[in-house]
Amino acid sequence: MTEVPVIHGMGSAVKRKEDVRFIQGRDTYVDDISLPGMVYLDFVRSPYAHARIRSISTERAKGAPGVVAVITGKDLQPLGLDWIPTLSGDKMMVLPTEKVVFQMQEVVGVVAESRYAAADAVKLVEVDYEPLPVVTDPKKALEEGSPIVREDKRTNHVFHWEAGDREATDRLFEQADVVVGQDMYYQRIHVSYMEPCGCVAYYDSVKGTPTIWMTTQAPHVVRTVASLITKIPENKIRIISPDIGGGFGGKVYVYPGSIVAAVASIVTGRPVKWVNDRSDDHPSTAFARDFHMRAELAAKRDGTLLAFRVKAVSDHGAFFGDANPSKFPFGLFSICTGSYDLKAAFVEVDGAYTNKPQGGIAYRCSFRVTEAVYAIERLVDIMAHRLGIDPAELRLKNFIPPEKFPYRSVMGWVYDSGNYAGALRKAMEKIGYEELRREQEEKRKRGELMGIGISSFTEIVGAGPSHTFDILGIKMFGSAEIRIHPTGKVIARFGTRSQGQGHETTYAQIIAEELGIPIEDITVEEGDTDTAPYGLGTYASRSTPTAGAAAAVASRKIREKAKKIAAHLLEAREEDVVWERGRFYVKGAPAKYKTIQEVAFAAYTNHPPGMEAGLEAVHYYDPPNMTFPFGSYICVVDIDRGTGEAKVRRFVAVDDCGNIINPLIVDGQIHGGLTMGFGTAFMEEIGYDQDGNIYGANFMDYTIPTAVETPKWETDKTVTPSPHHPLGAKGVGESATVGSPAAFVNAVVDALWPLGVTHIDMPLYPWKIRRLLEEKGYALDK
């Protein structure tokens, strides 16, 4: 009899299977793909944020050495591809025919035999622009008389969206003892993935089949939309998302480069490669956040929180392209009551068009949850300071208590599980909260500035239940297809797409857990629409909650059939057969068993009479609810009264994502997310001047943190399983990005509160802090 091998199932901190090829450089990104006869696409981009195009002359470029095609918006018009629909029911320009609407917008595509020839020829295209008045401030964009960004619209107003109960909220605000309010701006940032966007498009004119290798987080959605727009049958279109160097929401979008490359391939009959370089990608692809809000919180004098309201303007750039579920024009912002048991809440958001690239990326965030968490966590801190109650104590007093789960929030969400006080208490203990507060008190007496900031966030991830969540009508299920080969090895395919999250390991561990097959024997594939089951892709921390659940359920279906085969092999009745990880045995006789591998072999060689051969299953998982991961973060900062620099001394993160599949991967996600949150809080911002010129268009101007300035992250966990997920797991990829910015800002404001500082907008540049210190007469000149 064979021994049951080590399988690395649930909870194993096994190293990631895919890292071997990543570390050795044997991975395949879009730019690694090279096809015979391939040509290269480069773009003429607009120097203006808003300008009418008087004329475009392409003659010199067409005559340049190596140039095989030049494509303008007029060339796309007859194909109906000069504009394409966005995921939010708007449309976006592919190449302009009338005017440009943001700086660095693609204007003309030039295709040549080499990248160099294409870049040289780009400079030979002559575009005559008539500059137009520019609007970059969304609030000004909504005012009467503002320049109108879109020729096809009469206004810059994109949508008005409300959630919650306005009257009940206003009533509580009137009755409240204390009301605090704060204007805040969550700045525009870029996801800064390592791999810029690109594609290789090849149209086989004999078969009539376009194949596109592209940097996309959702290949099936791209295929369906492409088919609907072009009328090319969906079975003829193949979208392949190869290895992806980070997505963070930025690669849910389809950019003009892919459309123009596909058209160029049809025109030239050759494969066309388009890959943005960083200086093209950063200023022209979609952005995150850019959200102006007024948030208010009402409480009783004793610190009982009553109601929360937000009035906000969000900047969507020139096109409303947010990849939101259809019923949520402003995503899941209504999770903004957070971890607190409030009596009422109301939010209203107006979206605006401006002369910037499209915004609205859910940057490592489940559709605007980051903005929501920031709003409530900042306001709870402000309220604590106003009331003179310790921010930890105020939170503990108002948390939704564990016994109230499942908890229906006043916004209508049903939180699946939580133990918020447990996470906060653990974080406080780990960091030595009481001692830090004493130290802070002493330092204040000596004139030293030290701050402690807390963020106790609740996320909402795993979109989602089909009754509520769809994108363009397609329900947001998760899919898995698992096949066991005769030798007991496995191929498993999914409708999601890892961009570095470690799916090849995580999914293998789930199958290993359910079927007792070692992860080495399980191959996980994603990203090819010809082979993977239909799925909505990976973003918003949805892969484990949806496709991970599908993997578990499909595995269980396989186990059901395997049990029947085992009964046949063991010559026992099915109800007498017992499953123990990796093998079946007859009740009471565990020494006599059949391994899953033996059963797999029998499925093809010796299956019971009347049973279909084979051992495989497909499952489309419709989650009954979202999952609600949470955590408490505590940050300690010291502020230099001379330079205004805020140095993070310590940062403790206690996360709860339910049952953990791979602790190493979860920890990696937390570390990465915290570092991104740190960058957001302290150094990242895409700015524009009044003429729409972008600041921060490359990594020289736009700073992201390196290992040198990144604080040491002290991570820990609590485990509160999701009651409805088959594995008790929740999504975790985004918790740290979502939760951490408020902790950093709360810490800095906590240090400065005694000086009368209530808020500082991110990024917390030293010059902003220094300016406040000067205003309060607290700056040092040495």
DSSP 8-state symbol, 764: -
Separation between Cα atoms, residue 454 and residue 383, nearest integer Å: 13
How many residues touch another protein (CB under 8 A)? 41
User: Is residue 765 within the footprint of another protein (CB under 8 A)?
Assistant: yes
Question: Taking contact as CB under 8 A, which single stretch among the options 450-458, 585-593, 695-703, 716-724 is the one that binds another protein?
Answer: 695-703
The stretch among 1-9, 149-157, 617-625, 769-777 that binds another protein (CB under 8 A) is 769-777
Q: Report d(CA 348, CA 366) in Å as an integer.
A: 19
Does residue 486 interact with another protein by CB under 8 A? no
Residue 447 binds another protein, judged by CB under 8 A: no
Q: Rounded CA gap, 452 and 416, in Å?
A: 30
Choose, by CB under 8 A, the member of 609, 706, 712, 777 that binds another protein.
Answer: 706
Distance from C-alpha of 321 to C-alpha of 88, rounded to nearest angstrom: 5
| Interface with another protein, residue 245, by CB under 8 A | no
Pick out residues in 113-142 that bind another protein (CB under 8 A).
115-116, 119-120, 122-123
Output the smallest distance, CB 775 to another protein, in A: 12
Stretch near another protein under the rule CB under 8 A, chosen from 544-552, 613-621, 703-711, 721-729: 703-711
Closest approach, Cβ 69 to another protein, in A, equals 17
Question: Which tokens is 208 given?
Answer: 């009539």
CA distance 320 to 330: 11
Q: Angle at CA 184, nearest 5°, toward 182 and 188? A: 175
Q: Does 385 bind another protein (CB under 8 A)?
A: no
Tokens of 424: 């906060």
- CA 228 to mean position of chain CA atoms: 26
Q: What are the φ and ψ backbone dihedral angles of 119, each rounded to 5 degrees?
A: -65, -40
Per CB under 8 A, contacts with another protein among 547-586 are: none
Candidate ranges 5-13, 78-86, 521-529, 640-648; the one touching another protein (CB under 8 A): 640-648
Closest to another protein by CB, 27 vs 701, is: 701
Selecting among 150, 223, 309, 364, the annotated active-site residue is 364
Is there binding between residue 206 and another protein (CB under 8 A)?
A: no
Q: With CA atoms as reference, report the closest residue to 657 among 669, 647, 639.
A: 669
d(CA 424, CA 720) in angstroms, rounded, equals: 14
- 691 makes contact with another protein (CB under 8 A): no
Residues in the chain: 782
Q: With CB under 8 A as the contact rule, which of the stretches 185-193, 323-331, 413-421, 759-767 interacts with another protein?
A: 759-767
635 is catalytic: no
CB 148, CB 154: distance < 8 Å: yes
Options 265-273, 384-392, 666-674, 762-770: segment touching another protein (CB under 8 A): 762-770
- Among 261-269, 480-488, 498-506, 639-647, the segment contacting another protein (CB under 8 A): 639-647
| Contact pick of 182, 659, 703, 758 for another protein (by CB under 8 A) | 703
Instruction: Give residue 482's identity as a one-letter amino acid code.
Output: I
- What is the C-alpha to C-alpha distance for residues 113 and 115, in angstroms, rounded to an integer? 7
Window 645-664: residues binding another protein (CB under 8 A): 645
Nearest to 489 by CA among 526, 531, 517, 447: 517
Nearer to another protein, 402 or 766 (CB): 766
- Is residue 709 a contact point for another protein (CB under 8 A)? yes
How many other CB atoms are found less than 10 A from the CB of residue 425?
17
Q: Which is nearer to another protein, 445 or 782 (CB)?
A: 782
Q: Where in 18-57 is the site for another protein (CB under 8 A)?
A: 42-45
Instruction: Return the number of the residue (284 or 538) whose C-beta is nearest another protein.
Output: 284
Beta carbons of 319 and 96 less than 8 angstroms apart: no
Closest approach of another protein to the CB of residue 711, in Å: 13
Is residue 217 flagged as an active site residue? yes
**Tokens 């019923």, residue located:** 327
- With a CB cutoff of 8 Å and minimum separation 6, the contacts of 442 are none
- Which one of the listed residues 105, 217, 499, 597 is annotated catalytic? 217
Residue of the chain from 696, 721, 726, 731 that contacts another protein (CB under 8 A): 696
Residue 47's contacts (CB-CB under 8 Å, 6 or more residues apart) are: 103, 129
103 has catalytic annotation:
no
Contacting another protein (CB under 8 A), which of 695, 719, 756, 775? 695
Q: Tell me how far, at minimum, the Cβ of 220 lies from another protein, in Å.
A: 31
403 is catalytic: no
User: Which of 445, 700, 712, 777 is close enough to bind another protein by CB under 8 A?
Assistant: 700
Q: Which is nearer to another protein, 161 or 688 (CB)?
A: 688
Query: Which residue is listed with tokens 């293998």?
Result: 508
Residue nearer to another protein on the CB measure, 664 or 704: 704
Regarding 227 and contact with another protein (CB under 8 A), the answer is: no
Q: For another protein, which is the closer residue by CB, 591 or 700?
A: 700
Cβ contacts of 368 within 8 Å, gap of 6 or more: 330, 331, 332, 333, 362
Structure tokens, 624: 């009954």
Residue 194 in contact with another protein, rule: CB under 8 A: no
Give the CA-trace dihedral at 98, 102, 107, 111, to 10 degrees. Answer: -160
CB of 104 to another protein, least distance (A): 8
Q: Running DSSP on this structure, what letter comes out for residue 519?
A: G
Residue type, 271: P
Per-residue interface string for the shown chain with another protein, residues 268-307, x marking contact by CB under 8 A = ---------xxxx---------------------------
d(Cα 494, Cα 526) in Å, to the nearest integer? 5
Q: How many CB atoms lie within 10 A of CB 22?
A: 13
> Is residue 780 involved in binding another protein (CB under 8 A)?
yes
Q: Does 642 bind another protein (CB under 8 A)?
A: yes
Rounded CA Rg of the chain: 28
Sign of CA dihedral 525, 369, 455, 737: positive
CA distance 395 to 437: 16
Which of 198, 705, 733, 739 is close enough to bind another protein by CB under 8 A? 705
Q: How far is the CB of 634 from another protein (least distance, A)?
A: 24
Select which of 289, 514, 734, 770 is catalytic: 734
**What letter represents residue 555's amino acid?**
S
Please provide residue 188's backbone torsions phi and psi, each rounded to the nearest 5 degrees.
Answer: -75, 130
The catalytic residue among 199, 336, 365, 657 is: 365
Beta strands per DSSP E along 418-559: 449-458, 470-471, 474-475, 478-484, 490-494, 522-526
The nearer residue to another protein, 710 or 758, going by C-beta atoms, is 710
Can residue 683 be called a binding residue for another protein (CB under 8 A)?
yes
Binding mask 330-349 for another protein (x = CB under 8 A): --------------------
Any residues with CB less than 8 A from the CB of 388 and at least 6 apart, and which?
none
Name the residues annotated as catalytic.
Answer: 217, 364-365, 734
Q: Which residues bind another protein (CB under 8 A)?
A: 42-45, 115-116, 119-120, 122-123, 277-280, 642-645, 683, 687, 695-696, 698, 700-701, 703-706, 708-709, 765-767, 770-771, 774, 779-782
